Amino acid sequence: MNIVYQYREVSLTSDLRSDLEEITAGYASKKIFLIFESNTWKFCWPLINGFRQVPESNILVLKPGEDNKTMDQVVAAWEHLGDNGADRSSLVINVGGGMLTDLAGFAASTFKRGLSFINIPTTLLAMVDASAGGKTGVNFRGLKNEIGVIRQPAQVLLFLRFLETLNRMNLLSGYAEMLKAGLIADRLLWQDLRNFTFDDYSEEKLARLIQRSVSIKIDIVEADPEEHGIRKSLNFGHTIGHALESESLRSGKPLPHGYAVAFGMIAEAELSAIKLGLSKDSITEIRETITRLYGNPPETIHHADVLLGWMKFDKKNSNNLINFTLLEEIGKCRIDIVATAEEIRSSLIRVNG
């Protein structure tokens, strides 16, 4: 094996093709199915093609983009698996970003009550967030990840050469989830992430930061796989961030997930001050770090009633109360903090200082 780092089911490999051949040795080639979207088919398949003699008919290429994270594509995956003889002895390998691993993971998890699957994330966002933790799903009626199940992948393989195909915007989209990990659980990681730059970085240095971020997520998920308690800490920035993302999709001007979460973290830091007394210095540090990387939040951040309309559908809510994970200080969070509409409005007004 060419694994250079492993933590639970997540492995960082230096030779993806060779490791895939070894990992899949127990499966007949005709029982291996691969699901891509068109971009990863074009740029990533050449890096692993030839690991096994998988029949061409067992390869499915889906439409890319968050607006294609739909039940129609799940049905296409189910039909593909059914038409080509997939059964409980099959293995599904999902190669793509967060949209693809979420959707194809859901398709594999529900076909014949669950097939084994491996995620090979091809974006930084998928590497540090979407591909690990077992959350799968699709968007429905304009709501992000409204339909889905929690089912752990058999393995997640990280191959950093895929990041060479990404532009800065896509790298930063994933970086937001790493920043979140530091904010909720590790102040030293947060500081190291603040000091890191994509302008002239080494793969080795980025790999260490990815390892630390992924380890935080896996530890939290293992402690609370069904999200009844501490796993909710991973939602910092996401209640307002998902509302921003949903509104951007509705308006036809999609905001990358990581950017929406980053701006959501600014707003929820302000809410943390209102609810938990997060210090002014911490808010300034968070705001300055995020705006330096992502620019200023969109004007939509001040459309409180619109965003509140989306937030009421958030899966973390109960009894019609909007539920947040907020910061007591950088590196320490609290879950299940309920905020009123007026408190949320106040935090949104304060976003741009």
As given in the structure block, the two tokens for residue 84 are: 């080509």
Same domain, 245 and 328: yes
Residue 8: predicted pLDDT: 83
- Domain end residue (candidates: 136, 166, 196): 166
- Domain end residue (candidates: 115, 146, 166): 166
Residue 319: predicted pLDDT: 64
Same domain, 338 and 208: yes
Nearest CA to 271 out of 311, 324, 317 is that of 324
Same domain, 328 and 186: yes
Instruction: Name all contacts of 150-153 with Cβ < 8 Å and 24+ positions apart.
Output: 150/225, 150/226, 150/227, 151/105, 151/109, 151/114, 152/9, 152/225, 153/9, 153/105, 153/117, 153/118, 153/119
Same domain, 199 and 304: yes
Compute the distance between CA of residue 322 and CA of residue 344 in angstroms, rounded to an integer: 9
What's the number of domains the chain is made of? Answer: 2
Contact 44, 34 (CB under 8 A): no
Contact 189, 213 (CB under 8 A): yes
Same domain, 160 and 263: no
Compute the distance between CA of residue 125 and CA of residue 244 in angstroms, rounded to an integer: 18
CB atoms within 10 A of CB 75: 11
CATH number at residue 234: 1.20.1090.10
Same domain, 337 and 208: yes
Same domain, 140 and 174: no
- Domain end residue (candidates: 166, 182, 206): 166
Residue 1: predicted pLDDT: 66
> At residue 289, what is the residue type?
T
DSSP state of 255: P
Nearest CA to 147 out of 105, 198, 189 is that of 105
- Taking all residues of the chain, what is their mean pLDDT, rounded to a whole number? 93
Same domain, 206 and 151: no
Q: Cβ-count burial of 143 within 10 angstroms (0-12 exposed, 13-18 middle, 19+ buried)?
A: middle
CB atoms within 10 A of CB 248: 18
- Cβ neighbours of residue 26 under 8 Å, at least 6 residues apart? none
CATH number at residue 124: 3.40.50.1970
- For residue 123, the Cα-to-chain-centroid distance in whole angstroms is 10
Contact 163, 204 (CB under 8 A): no
Same domain, 14 and 136: yes
> At residue 145, what is the residue type?
N
Same domain, 224 and 333: yes
Compute the distance between CA of residue 151 and CA of residue 13 in angstroms, rounded to an integer: 23
Expressed as residue numbers, the domain containing 59 is 3-166
Residue 353: predicted pLDDT: 59
pLDDT per position in the chain (353 positions), as tens?
677 778 888 999 999 999 999 999 999 999 999 999 999 999 999 999 999 999 999 999 999 998 899 999 999 999 999 999 999 999 999 999 999 999 999 999 999 999 999 999 999 999 998 777 888 999 998 888 899 999 999 999 999 999 988 899 999 999 999 999 999 999 999 999 999 998 877 888 999 999 999 999 999 999 998 888 999 999 999 999 999 999 998 898 889 999 999 999 999 999 999 999 999 999 999 999 999 999 999 999 999 999 999 998 876 776 668 999 999 999 999 999 999 999 999 999 999 75
Same domain, 233 and 306: yes
Same domain, 270 and 149: no
